[in-house]
Structures are given as structure tokens and as C-alpha cells.
Structure 1
Amino acid sequence: MTKALFIIDVQNDFTEGGALGVDGGAAVAADTTRYLAHAHGDYALVIASRDWHDPEGDNGGHFAAPGTDPDYVATWPSHCVAGTAGAEYHPGLDLSHVSMHVKKGQGEPAYSIYDGEVEGGASDGATISAVLEEHGVTEVDVVGIATDYCVRASVLDAIEHGRHVRVFTDLIAGVARESSDAALLEMGHAGAVLGASDSD
């Protein structure tokens, strides 16, 4: 079976000190780098996604309106704005084994990697679904941030698109314990296999 790795949103704004930083985000970057150092050969594709929001406007209501508080469910503080340091990958994530990059949320809310478009190369502008089909990918492993939002959405979409999905629970970090636990349960019920990256 042909396998891909999704690295979801390991960005400065989602790690400690960022606009929406989560505890453990920097560790996800470092530990994913260590994992890829020995496991990159297992994958036909290593695909990294980033939120890449427009600097102007509210990105389809994704950013809270000026002067209002975000509800942290549907509206958020400004984050991962295109061209800013917050939108860049965390420096602890080694990109040398990443074969494809995806930008999502360009002017609209977008949580799943399936909501984005491939950046650069022969597949520029393509959807992840089309790329996986083209490469015959049947299995997807998922790591990244945040467990309870973009990881969750990406995993559920991958399952819906017929992929066998594993979530490496030692290579993810969530916004909150309760919502992350609920997301893991939901992913498991949907058919994802949950386990550590060294469980092979």
C-alpha cells in the first residue's frame, strides 16, 4: 500500500508564544523532525499544510471583527496571516523531507488540509484529494496541530475520502484537554487508528 504523511499546521502562531499557541506545539515540531529522520522513506508523499490567511478583511468571518472578542469556536484572533512570521513553519520542523506544501484559508475559514491547495511544482493549485489519487495513496498518517481543530478535520476528511488513517498521538497537540479527548474519540469512532509513532 502507498502511504502519505500529513503534517498539519506546525506554524509559529500555533506554537508557544504565537497568536493561538498551544502547549506542546514546539515539541510536535521537534519530535516530527526526529520521526522523519528515520521514517521519511516509508512515505511516497510527505505533505505539510499551513493556514495562510489574507491580511485584509475577516477571511470569511474567520477572524473576529475589530472591537469584538473571538468566541474561539467559529471566530478567532488574527493568526497565520500570509507573509508574516506567525504563518511560517516552526523552526524546529525540518522541511527537507517534505515533498509538498498546502496553503489553506486564503480568504475563508479552512480547517482541513483538504480545504487547501498545493503550492508550487507540477501539482500547483491541485487539491490534496487529486494528488493522493494520482499517487495511488491508500494510507495516511497524520501529525500536527491542533488535535481538536485542524488535525481532527483533516483526519475525518481523509477517512471520508476512503483512506486508511493513523493518528500519531505523540506527535499532536491540542488547544484544550477536553476538546482534544473528544476529537480523538470521534476520530477513533470514524475509523482512525490511534497510537504512537513508534508503535510499528
Structure 2
Amino acid sequence: MSRRLLIIVDVQNDFCEGGALAVDGGSAVAVRTAEFVREHAADYDRILATQDWHRGDTDNGGHFATPPAEPDFSETWPVHCVAGTRGAEFHPEIEALVAEVGRIEIARKGYGIPSYSALEGATVGTEESVQQLIGSGDWDQVDVVGLAYDFCVRATALGAVATGAPVRVLRRLTAAVHPAGNEQLEAELAEAGVQLA
């Protein structure tokens, strides 16, 4: 019997249109992801939704650009996804999905430190390491979706495939900060063994 895991990466208000670090197409990804999960939830043994969850009183280890410096949108960023704020909440489509499906687990990452990969986080409540969840799960398939394709989705997919898990990125359920770089990104993912679907 196959074991499958779905990771929904950081589909939060600050990464969608109107947010502090909006990705073009972020809200559309939220809608399509919610539709996908409603249709396919039974296909997965576990579903994990991650949140960027930063401290508001620090630069989070250099992750936030400190004025007067401007963010470079590569290694430094505007203040975003501060723990407990509306920006850190899931997009309403994902918030509704979590309430509706019921068995979606939440994991958080990046509190006080730069963090991109979901594997750096832990589940809320049980504090289960996502790294351990994936690495010791004997998964037949790990599917990764969410925001942003070229940062947190990329890091999560590369981290998961490095554990030996078979990993697939569902491209229709992603959007990139720098979409002009998608061809190079996809070559990197494919070379690492990540399937692009």
C-alpha cells in the first residue's frame, strides 16, 4: 500500500496579492490548491500546510532588510509573515480548507532565523520535526505545492528529495517571485531528482 504526503508551502496572506511580499498569482494558487485538495485529499496519508512565522522584534537573522537598507528580494526581504499578524495567516481559501478538511496539519518555520525549507519547521502542537517526518516516513510520493516556487517550494522539494523521498512539484499549484528564472529553476530541480508535474 503506497504512502503519500502533500506539503502546501506558505500560502499566506503576505505572499498573495495585497500582502507585504506578494507573489503575482498567489491568490490564484490558493484557489487552485484548495480545489485540488478537496478533490484529492483522500489520496494522501498526511497533508501538511506550512507557515512562515517570523519574529516581529528582530531582523530574523538578516532575513528582513534593516532600514536604511532596501530588500534585494533574493536574500533580504521586506518585513512579512510576522507571527500572530494577519499577514502570517493562511490565505482565506486555505484557511477555509483547513477548517473543512479537518486533518490538515500545520507546521511553522523561521521564528528568529532565515528559513525557506519546510523541513526546517515543526508541526504545531506536537512539535514533530518536518525533517524527521519526511526522512523517516518511508514515503512513496511527496508532493509539494505553494509559494513561492523559486524560494520556499524549491527549498522544500530539494530538502525532501535529499532525504531519499520521491518528490514531485505540481507546477500549476505554484507561483514564483522571479518567474523569468523558472527554466533554470526547473533544470536544477530535475537534476536533483525532483519530478515536475
Common fold: TM-score over 0.5: yes
Matched length: 192
Structure 1 residue ranges (4+ consecutive) displaced by more than 6 angstroms after TM superposition: none
Q: Secondary structure of 1:36's partner?
A: helix
Q: Which residue of 2 aligns with 1:198?
A: none
Instruction: Please report how far the alpha carbon of residue 33 of structure 1 lies from its aligned counterpart in structure 2 after TM superposition.
Output: 0.8
CA distance in 2 between counterparts of 1:151 and 1:31 reads 16
Residue aligning to 2:117? 112
After TM superposition, the score normalised by the length of structure 1 is 0.92
1:191 aligns with 2:157: no
User: How far apart are the structure 2 equivalents of 1:176 and 1:60?
Assistant: 23
Instruction: Give percent identity, aligned residues only.
Output: 43
RMSD: 1.3
* Offset at residue 133 of structure 1 (A): 5.0
| Residue-by-residue CA offset, 1:64-118 (whole Å, 9 max, x unaligned) | 1122111111111100000110000000221133521110000000000001111
Q: Unpaired runs of 5+ in structure 2?
A: none
Structure 1: how far apart are the matches of 2:84 and 2:151?
23
- What is the letter of the counterpart of residue 6 of structure 2? L
Matched, 1:157 2:159: yes
Cα separation, 1, equivalents of 2:20 and 2:181: 19
Residue 139 (structure 1) aligns with:
141
Q: How far, CA to CA, are the matches of 2:159 and 2:137 in structure 1?
A: 18
3-state secondary structure, aligned to 2:93: coil
Equivalent residues in 2 for 1:173-184, closer than 5 Å: 173-184=175-186
Change (3 A) 1:133 1:68: closer
Moved more, 78-87 or 173-182: 173-182
Is there any run of 5+ residues in structure 1 with no aligned partner, and where?
196-200
Q: Which has the higher helix share?
A: 2
